[in-house]
Structure 1
């Protein structure tokens, strides 16, 4: 599947945390991925393009399953989480092994915050 799945899921969590209006554009996600997760401070064009395409393929596969919406506005690709994304996080939590002793997974907490935020705004 994906060799860097942990970091890609952190990018998806970033989308959930910053999902206002159109969502988050792909260049911002690429910079977040490179600087904060891979710790590359001055990426070359090749490194940036490689990371951009990796994220693009990841989000296209998620959009085919209905987990995110991809929109192209003014030449930028925007990623917006859907309600199904929250279900994905809940499912990932349920399928973890019993070795983890956390009582409440941080992604599940973020998912609940996201749903509550939408309820407060009356977005459904």
Structure 2
């Protein structure tokens, strides 16, 4: 389920890059060299901003992820989003899993910050420099 939304995004990104190169080639071949230097690059840059603006506007309506909602303390909203995707029983299980994961990450982040304590900071720097 997780990779399913990623594939169309990647496909559209690659197709967008290809289409941008084709459009830029057409713009570059439209005029003379001086036109390209003075004006053509503006068209290339400006036309590339149109899909970016459309994407930005579409992201305004995009919902937050259930994990973000649960992590932010909005458990009911996160559960409702999960319930809509995978059903009630699976949503309950996933909500509990996400709660446990968030709790573990919170505990782990405290352990990670311990690496930068004054007593360990010098050892961390030496270890990083030795590896490099």
Q: TM-score range by the shorter chain?
A: 0.3 to 0.5
Q: Which has the higher contact order (CA 8 A, sep 6+)?
A: 1
Return the structure number with greater strand share: 1
Return the structure number with greater helix share: 2
TM-score, scaled to structure 2: 0.31
TM-score, scaled to structure 1: 0.32
Q: Which has the larger radius of gyration?
A: 2
